[in-house]
Chain A
Amino acid sequence: EIVLTQSPGTLSLSPGDRATVSCRVSQTVNPSFVAWYQQKPGQAPRLLMYGTSTRATGIPDRFSGSGSGTDFTLTISRLEPEDFAVYYCQQYARSPITFGQGTRLDVK
């Protein structure tokens, strides 16, 4: 099973700041099969990025993704109030599909 480790576990920032979330993968995966999700309390996960760097429909361009091999990153260039949430990375290259443990983005 491929293990995804996100860092940091919690990120405390202010609106307007830049946020960077890391996802380290235990084995090399094809970047075409790495996704990022945002989840707010009481809501389903919302797809932000797929194929490492392609924004899903309706996702603003302040969100970007990058990476290859075993290291992937989600960046939010300038935080808006609605961006404070939990973020998950996912690999769907190999079965079983696995997720990182999540990164909570809090208001500082």
Chain B
Amino acid sequence: GAVVSQHPSRVICKSGTSVKIECRSLDFQATTMFWYRQFPKQSLMLMATSNEGSKATYEQGVEKDKFLINHASLTLSTLTVTSAHPEDSSFYICSAPGQGFENYGYTFGSGTRLTVV
């Protein structure tokens, strides 16, 4: 089935540095990738939608200059948290529509736990 590989699974960084999270679709082409943020014991909150070859669409309240999204190819989307601060510590998950909805539905990456110290 469709697989989205997300790396790293965990990252600890110092305040003020940038962190890049990658999501790759392994056996299908993902023209769209959704990026979510999840706080402990809460639901997934959509941050932005990336589309291959065009600018990402950000949800209201999400700073596009802080959360840089690049969808460089049909199999790779990246989220860069720039000048990270402790309040950016969270769990980040990507998701992509699979190849043929009837067969795969939507596939999620395994998530990245970001801790900013």
Q: Do these two chains really belong together in a complex? A: no
A residues whose Cβ falls under 8 Å from a Cβ of B: none
